[in-house]
Amino acid sequence: MTVPAHTARIAVSDLPSALAAVRERGLRLSCARRIVLEALYEADGPLTAEEIARSGRCDLASVYRNVEALETAGLVRHLHVGHGPGLYLPAAAAVELIVCERCGARADVDPRVTADVRAAVQAATGFTPHFDHFPLAGLCPRCAYDRQEG
């Protein structure tokens, strides 16, 4: 229900700049902060808090505290897929996804398509949808097919 009050997301697309940005935002570059950023920048997709904690052996509570701090600082973002745990990724990763509710498959959605959708829903409802935090849910081609067959 709540969207964190982000600092404007700045283009920080590699680990060293992200680490530097932590200091620039007036935050200490603590051990857990480093672990979170290293994990997210080295991963090839979104990670759970659990995965981040395991990757660098720090406490799960510290991961939660720090992804929040780093999200407020505009360096990290998170999204929610289905009923599962939250997934964290670098804020710079401008991914808009659609996720299969049946099998969990994910696909990127072209920003031009989401822009069109945003405009259409805006015009019809006055609300502006976005897909950063709660990605689109649906069925992948295979699951849609399986469902029709039986």
Partner DNA sequence: CTCTCTGCAAAGAATTTGCAAACAC
Partner DNA sequence: GTGTTTGCAAATTCTTTGCAGAGAG
CB 139 within 8 A of CB 102: yes
CB 91 within 8 A of CB 76: yes
At 15, which amino acid appears?
Answer: L
- Asked if 60 touches DNA (CB under 7 A), the answer is yes
Per-residue binder mask for DNA (CB under 7 A), 80-119, x = binder: ----xxx---------------------------------
From residue 73, alpha-carbon distances to 20, 22, 69, 89, 110 in Å are 12, 8, 6, 14, 27
The answer for residues whose C-beta is within 8 angstroms of residue 131's C-beta and 6 or more apart is 96, 97, 109, 114
Minimum CB–partner distance for residue 111 and DNA (Å): 26
**Residue 39 binding result from DNA, a second copy, none, given CB thresholds of 5 to 8 Å by partner type:** none
**Residue 127 binding result from DNA, a second copy, none, given CB thresholds of 5 to 8 Å by partner type:** a second copy
Per-residue binder mask for a second copy (CB under 8 A), 62-101, x = binder: ------------------xxxxx-------------x-xx
- Asked if 28 touches DNA (CB under 7 A), the answer is yes
Among residues 69, 89, 92, 100, the one that binds DNA under rule CB under 7 A: 69
From residue 76, alpha-carbon distances to 18, 39, 44, 144 in Å are 10, 11, 15, 33
Which span sits near DNA by CB under 7 A: 6-14, 55-63, 111-119, 125-133? 55-63
Among residues 20, 61, 137, 144, the one that binds DNA under rule CB under 7 A: 61
